[in-house]
Amino acid sequence: MLLSALFTAASSPVAWAQIERAPLIGIIDIQAVLRESEAVHALSRKIEARREAAQAGMQDREEALRAADLDLAQRRSALSVEQYAEERGKLEDEGIALQREAQEQRRQLDQIFSRGMSQVQQVLVQISQDIARENNLDLVLAKTTVILVRSEFDFTEEALQRLNARLADVTLPDVPN
């Protein structure tokens, strides 16, 4: 009896009237778009330049710290045990502070990179919505969730071209020193 009721409901004109056509689906390879995006390439170059500049500054300070350590080692015989211990402690504290500062700089740069990627992803979502609306798509899926797709359903290249046209660069905030 239940089977008969289900069959009757499924074959009723009301149920079929709600489905006028098969849904239109589009696919975008988000990872490929992000990998090839001019904005992401520019963002990566900027972050790498900032990392190199920060590392160069840290290297100068590390060299100064090593020179101070060598100087202390040479003066050890002229210092009392207490003086040596005090100066050694200061050098160690400076070394620890330098490591913390380097970690903080790396954390800030990672955070800035994440914010930049978020900007790019937000624009890509808007572009995906535009593509869906213009092509009357009911559903847009990330290619990572799809095994096979016909090329006419793949909007990856169009999304990449639009992203490059709309956002070629990402503005980064300054890192406080």
CA separation for the pair 101, 58 (Å, rounded): 9
| Residue 120 CB coordination number (10 Å) | 20
pLDDT tens, per residue, the chain with 177 residues: 433 433 444 444 555 455 577 888 999 999 999 999 999 999 999 999 999 999 998 999 999 999 999 999 999 899 899 999 999 999 999 999 999 999 999 999 999 999 999 999 999 999 999 999 999 999 999 999 888 888 999 999 999 999 999 999 898 877 654
The reported pLDDT for the residue numbered 20 is: 73
At 143, which amino acid appears?
K
Q: Could you tell me the two tokens for 126?
A: 């808007």
Handedness of CA 26, 31, 37, 42 (dihedral sign): positive
Per CATH, the number for 22-166 is 3.30.910.20
Q: Residue 26, SS3? A: strand
User: What DSSP character marks residue 168?
Assistant: S
Q: What global pTM score does this model have?
A: 0.74
Per-residue pLDDT at 13: 53
